Amino acid sequence: MKQLDSSFWRVAHDREIELHKRSVIMAIVNVTPDSFSDGGRYQTVDRAVEHALQAIADGAEILDIGGESTRPDAASVSPAEEQARVLPVIEALSRRTEALISIDTYREETARLAIGAGAHIVNDVFGLQKEPAIAALSAETGAGLCIMHTGRDRQKLDDIIEDQVFFLDRSLEIASAAGVLRDRIVLDPGFGFAKETPRENLELMARFEELHRFGLPLLAGTSRKRFLGAVTGREPAERDAATAATSALLRIQGAAVFRVHNVAINRDALAVADAMLAARNDASKACRDPSDPLATL
């Protein structure tokens, strides 16, 4: 696969981050009692902030703050409860770090308040299709969008990539109609979100390159997911090595952003993948025909 050119993800508060040239890690900060892997560990503001700052020290450049578990069959929370969990954490982090802050929500109200508190990105697990007003909010504020594919609450197409295209094309139509610029958007194929079997998730990994048809940066969110447990036989907290393996494999296929629980192990795996890609790129340049006018570029 040809390595993608560098590009910038432009986000709220006049910030941006370069993608593709190197891997970018988004750290998961769950301010929830019931997330599948680390529920309750960072439920207080102090613990969540401490965890987030350690993630930055370990190599994260984006912090994804969530106040409602998105695991299968998780109980929903009210907007007020979600906001009470996440807003103090975002406010505290915006004072203490220059890292980009993402709010993991599908609610426009929560997203608006989070951006006001200092967040730069909205990570919507329903791909703008539950509350399309999030797209208008992005256009208004300049917030970055992570638009995720999901198969929940609908009938999926049989082919896994055709279903990605069917769903994400609709999401991108919503974004375009609201006036969201393409340099604000990253797409997430939604590993584990109504991909019913380990095989379905593994096929999505194997065919990940086909998602470059959208011409947009891609985020990989495999961290500690159930399909990795099926492959390794390990419980969620023991799946970090498997996650790092998927991160490296998906980096080779062009993923730009990696949403993970354990930043340090994924940083190392991605450093190796980035170094290999750089070596391959250098080798490709060296092998060009000297008569090629592009050979000296």
Catalytic residues: 225, 259
b vs e for 96-129, b when ≥16 Cβ sit within 10 Å of the residue's Cβ?
ebebbbbbbbbbbbbbbbbbebbbbbbbbbbbbb
Chain centre distance of CA 277: 21
Residue position matching structure tokens 């961290």: 223
- Tell the residue number behind the tokens 């965890």, with chain if given: 51
**Secondary element (H or E) of residue 100:** strand 100-104
d(CA 137, CA 145): 10
- Owner of token pair 């991160």: 247
Helix or strand holding residue 174 (H, E): helix 160-178
Within 207-262, where are the H helices? 226-232, 240-252
| Cβ-proximal residues to 50 (8 Å cutoff; 6+ apart), any chain | none
Distance CA 216, CA 184 (A): 10
Quote the CA–CA distance of 49 and 32 in Å, as a whole number: 13
Sheet holding 257-260, edge to edge: 185-188, 144-148, 121-124, 100-104, 62-66, 24-30, 257-260, 219-220
> Rg of the Cα trace of the chain?
19
Distance CA(223)–CA(240), nearest Å, equals: 7
